[in-house]
Amino acid sequence: MSSRKAPFRKPQIKGAAAEELVHALRTHQVDAIVGERHIMLVRLKQAEEDLELSRNQLRALTASLLSIRENERIVIAREIHDELGQALTCLQLGLSWIAGKVTARQQPVQDKVRSLAALVTTMIRTVQRIADELRPGVLDELGLVKALKSEARKFTGYTGTPCKFETNMGKTGCSREESIAIFRIAQAALTNVARHAEASKIMMSLMDGKTHFVLTVHDNGKGITREQISGAQSLGIIGIRERVLALKGSLNIRGSKTTGTTLTVRIPRPRILLSHRPVSS
Amino acid sequence: MTSRSREKRRTAPAGGKTYAFQLFVAGNESNSTQARDNLARLCREYLTGRHEITIVDVLKDAATAYTHHVLVTPTLILIKPLPKVLLLGNLSDTRHVLAALRLIGGKQ
């Protein structure tokens, strides 16, 4: 006698029963489909659809928040630069005027004025740096490529780790939104490298492909784990992902202990519609 | 109210027979819950004291569902009186359900 289970017999469904089944499915009166090995909840599909809708709403909200944040940054940067910068410049001119009035016999006053002038100069530089970090003037004035070059240079200056940048892009490649997003992504990627990678060399590139803009940041550091890539604590990567998704792009992060980490962002190029209007002579 | 009383008038005399049902549901999914409620209501109104209902939750007991060749939930099987009847859906179409269970005289 065989102890094997009897094979599952497929239920026969014909005529009225088949009609009944079709009607029940059409009118959404079915909760679950009973299969040979498992129960498939029909409502699971609906739940997944709801979840996707909710995700899309969250993404739209994030995109809107990012845009609001950028605009706020512009306003704050302008206020700091114009108001505070102006006031500090006036203060510096005032101190110079006082320094001119002080006689050689008033040495302690002269020293004090000089130290105050030096302090004001430092403050002006700090204000410029803060305003620049909030909204890099170079991005608005000279465009994305120059801004990224400048960012690579700054990174090398701050960290002492050489960061090379290469591109095949001209001056006008991306829209304003794309430029801001790519620039912020590059900034976030470089911050991550500085904080975690322990790299001795960084290569950043921005390539203009036929269909996509491709930003790559590669370092030769200690790599990155899957948990770090998808972890809830990886706020930098979450921010990058949200910016990429807002532009319907894709993000790929690969890391290994031997080759370091490579972050690749692909942003689809906007489609240019050519008009074929007849030209009148 | 009117339609309900008409259905009652047209109810076939069951002759004291006991109706045995087996209702296959998927946990507390909405159609399954509706089917449970609708069956309980129909039994209360048309088969007072003459019915037995066995509820089978396929999420806990899939084997019984396989044995009875139940494809989807909710499914109601009239076990007795014979012949067996199989109904799919949430049993919200009272007229259709009553006709299928031979409790009223056919579909209009």
> What spatial distance separates the first Cα and last Cα of chain A, rounded to whole Å?
95
Secondary structure class of B56 (helix, strand, coil): strand
Q: Do A34 and B72 touch (CB under 8 A)?
A: yes
| Closest to B89 in 3D by CA, of A18, A152, A130, A25 | A25
**Third-level CATH fold of B2-100:** Glutaredoxin (3.40.30)
Please name the residues between 26 and 85 in chain A that touch chain B, using a CB distance below 8 Å.
27-34, 36, 38-39, 41, 43
Size of interface A-B (CB pairs under 8 A): 72
Chain B residue with Cα closest to A11: B69
Minimum-distance CB partner of A34 among B32, B73, B87: B73
Q: Do A31 and B74 touch (CB under 8 A)?
A: yes
Q: Exposed, middle or buried: residue A23 (CB in 10 Å: 0-12, 13-18, 19+)? A: middle
Cα of A269 vs its chain's centroid, Å: 17
For domain A140-268, the CATH class is alpha beta
CA dist A217 and A265 (Å) reads 9
Residues of A in contact with B65 (CB under 8 A): 34
CA dist B10 and B7 (Å) reads 5
ipTM for the complex shown? 0.70
A245 close to A56: Cβ distance less than 8 angstroms: no
B68 close to B78: Cβ distance less than 8 angstroms: no
The full set of domain ranges for chain B reads 2-100
Chain A residue with Cα closest to B29: A31
Residue by residue, DSSP assigns A163-185 as EEEEE---SS-S-HHHHHHHHHH
- The per-residue pLDDT of chain B, averaged, comes to 80
pLDDT single digits (tens) A72-126: 888 888 888 888 888 898 898 899 889 888 888 888 888 899 899 999 999 998 8
Angle at B63 between CA B59 and CA B68, to 5 degrees: 110
* CA A13 to each of CA A2, A205, B31: distance values in angstroms, whole numbers, following the listed order: 30, 62, 21
CA dist B56 and A39 (Å) reads 13
Q: Is A235 on the interface with B (CB under 8 A)?
A: no
| Closest to B103 in 3D by CA, of B54, B32, B66, B48 | B48
User: In sequence order, what are the beta bridge partners of A256?
Assistant: A260
Q: Which residues of chain A register pLDDT less than 70? A: 1-14, 36-38, 42-43, 45, 171-172, 271-281
pLDDT single digits (tens) A151-175: 999 899 988 999 999 998 876 577 8
The full set of domain ranges for chain A reads 40-134, 140-268
Confidence at residue A148, expressed as pLDDT on a 0 to 100 scale: 92
Q: How confident is the model at residue B12 (pLDDT cuts 50, 70, 90)?
A: very low
Q: Do A31 and B70 touch (CB under 8 A)?
A: no
